[in-house]
Structure 1
Amino acid sequence: MPGMSDYTGAVTVGGGADVRELTHLTITKVAVDPEMSNNAYLLRCRHTGDQLLVDAAAEPDTLREVVGDGGLATIVTTHQHWDHHRALADLAGETGAEVAAGEPDADAVSEQTGVQVTRRLNHGDTVAVGDCTLEVIALAGHTPGSVALLYDDTASGGHPHLFTGDSLFPGGVGGTFGDAAAFAQLIDEVEHKVFDRLPDDTWFYPGHGADSTLGAERGDLPAWRERGY
């Protein structure tokens, strides 16, 4: 049954991809770059074959292999930090994909990569993957324009899937580099836009490392807020 697979999200650099088959969408997770161990996610509509890449982080050859012959309709960069877009110029140039990023980060992404961001994302926007729809959730704090992408599979008997970039990880929100105001902003946004809205069985996919569910993390929110990171 789609969605009921051996997917764990536990990937290592050089160790191949992990694939999750949902009713309408296939999610492929791969880790790239031994130093930073970034995650990249290829989303493929099972009806149309259209594909979207979340974070062309590094290792163009690895990402080309994951993309295969299906091409790319869209590349979403979750935020402006250098380690999340090192393969953007290669992949966008080869595929002609629409390049999307959060509005406040878009200019920085273009300046750092030399790639024009052709779609500027704001909270509540939607991004199509063939017949499937992703909702943009803006989560400022780690960077001003960080975005998460929500795919809600509940209508097909599944659960929500959330691609969080570096805004939410197992064990805490993303780093805010000692900026107390940025931390307060990020944890408020994550709590109100993610935890207050979405159910415990929401599976989230971060920009580095292992996946988790909101239910596994929800009880620790007060501790995160108390420790300040």
Structure 2
Amino acid sequence: MITPRKSADRGRTKIDWLDSRHTFSFGDYYDPAEMGFRTLRVINEDRVRPGAGFPTHPHRDMEIITYILEGALEHKDSLGTGSVISPGEAQRMSAGTGITHSEFNHSKTEPVHFLQIWITPSTPGIKPGYEQKTIDDAKAHTGFAPVGTPDGDGQSVKIHQDAALSVAKLDRGQTVTTNLKKERHGWVQVARGAVTVNGTALAEGDGAAISNEDKLTLVANAPAEVLFFDLA
């Protein structure tokens, strides 16, 4: 079963420096029917104007993954981490017992466009942590490249949950497949372009909850960048 979540139906926060689309309830956007899917709690698509960003603020007990689409995002946190995240990289911050951080557009002239993803950890109260890795771009062009996994092997960041995130970057007409084990669930998020997933058309910004499907076949209807979540 594939249940689409259309881009136009998402919540929105728009202020002078931020344009954010919320797949699930977040901040002032609240829809009791859209509180997340399985352990996936937040997918925000954010555009931040040059030189602006989120001032220091706190988080607890959440796995926060940042995926850059365009531009660069500057990160600082209470662990002493200072970094810049660019396209082709993934950042994971485990909020655990408590962490504060800030995120700003690294450029004074160009906007930054990114996805911020929250996944509920399997165990509350873990030690806060930070990780940043380069995604296997070549693999993403031939199938799904790991972005985040429970063991954090290879070029994936570690997610403290029975959940995995991968990405495929597809040319028009390209087809990729992936399997879902019995009793697993999936979420597809189209970051760019357009695809058909098991016969269901999804456009840029669309997402879809997936249950009771043992195999997914994605066909790119346009050049596309697609995130796939494998969830318990």
TM superposition score category, shorter chain reference: 0.3 to 0.5
Greater strand fraction, Structure 1 or Structure 2: 2
Normalization by structure 2: what TM-score? Answer: 0.35
Q: Which has the higher contact order (CA 8 A, sep 6+)?
A: 2
Normalization by structure 1: what TM-score? Answer: 0.35
Greater helix fraction, Structure 1 or Structure 2: 1
